[in-house]
Amino acid sequence: MRWVVSVCLAWAAAMALEVAAAEPCTLRVGWEPYAPFTFADENGEATGADIDLITAVADAIGCTVAPMELPWARILKEVEQGTLDLSTSTSRTPEREQWALFSRPYRETEIAIYVRRGETQRFALQELADIPEQQLRLGVIVDYYYGEALAEAASDPGFAAWIDGAPDYPTNIRKLVSGRIDGFLVEDVAVVEAELARMGMSEAVERYPLRIPGQKLHFMFSRETVEPDLVAQVDAAIAQMRADGRLDAITAKYLP
């Protein structure tokens, strides 16, 4: 009798493993217009360097991707809640680590301030903390992370009074050109340069000559739906693609 029970249990375990292996792995990827990394092509389909990369990584680990376009603030909330599995080009912060897992970094950003063309001499910034003294009304995007320097400075109410939030880069560009702000902070120069070109405003603004440390960006996964071993598989795929040159080739396809 014990032998029969053991056989039955072994059969049940084998069947469970077979069913689990047969289950499709689909990763729901949140994205916002963030060219050249995530944007819609002429057919309205998600494309860009990040989309190509996560698609290649997913294929390497036996998964497919289902891109879903949403505003950035909602992407963060849905990854937290588990209604999205991951986001791309995401900074790692202690707050996000409470509800998310992060892949190894796969690229780095270049952070900068943009002002109206011809006005770089109007301000004398040596660091971000000089913004209140220089009376520079600085635009940022709500829920973007610009690094420790801004996070620390913004904790001061005197500094925060000079910060003006917006939902996206196009809004900040229009606010700058119309004089509603004096500059805006960019957490990824490649993205804003693409947006300026798209809007035909490349000649209306220029980069302020203040060096600001960039950040490493990751795929961010929901702890609600993604296990650490899957993230480990993603890390291995990223490492392999970096080693064989595929990661750089994907980026080069979209960057000038």
Residue 35: C-alpha distances to residues 17, 39, 145, 165 (Å): 41, 5, 18, 21
| Tokens coding 178 | 């119309």
**Residue 72: predicted pLDDT:** 95
Report which secondary-structure segment, H or E, holds 180.
none
Pick the CATH number of 112-207 from 3.40.80.10, 3.50.50.60, 3.40.190.10, 3.40.50.720: 3.40.190.10
Residue type, position 178, single letter: S
DSSP-derived letter for residue 161 is T
CA gap 228, 226 in Å, rounded = 7
**Residue 182: predicted pLDDT:** 98
Pick the CATH number of 2-108+215-254 from 3.40.50.300, 1.20.1250.20, 3.40.190.10, 3.10.180.10: 3.40.190.10
Classified as helix, coil or strand, 104 is coil
Among candidate residues 107, 86, 76, the one with its CA nearest the CA of residue 214 = 107
Among candidate residues 209, 199, 201, 193, the one with its CA nearest the CA of residue 256 = 193
Domain ranges (residues) in the chain: 2-108+215-254, 112-207
Residue 95: C-alpha distances to residues 79, 100, 107, 134 (Å): 13, 9, 21, 31
| Contact yes or no for 190/111 (Cβ under 8 A) | no
**Residue 23: predicted pLDDT:** 62
Quote the pTM value: 0.84
Q: How many CA atoms lie less than 13 Å away from 79 in the CB half-sphere?
A: 28
**Residue 148: predicted pLDDT:** 86
CA gap 26, 54 in Å, rounded = 12
Q: Do domains 2-108+215-254 and 112-207 have the same CATH topology?
A: yes
For the chain (256 residues), the mean pLDDT of every run of 10, in chain order, is 41 41 80 96 97 98 98 97 98 97 96 97 95 97 91 92 96 98 96 96 97 93 98 98 97 90
Q: Count Cβ atoms below 10 Å from residue 132 Cβ, excluding itself.
A: 16
Residue 47: C-alpha distances to residues 19, 34, 42, 81 (Å): 32, 10, 10, 25
Helix spans in the chain (H): 2-22, 49-60, 72-81, 94-97, 131-134, 148-154, 157-160, 169-177, 189-199, 228-243, 246-254
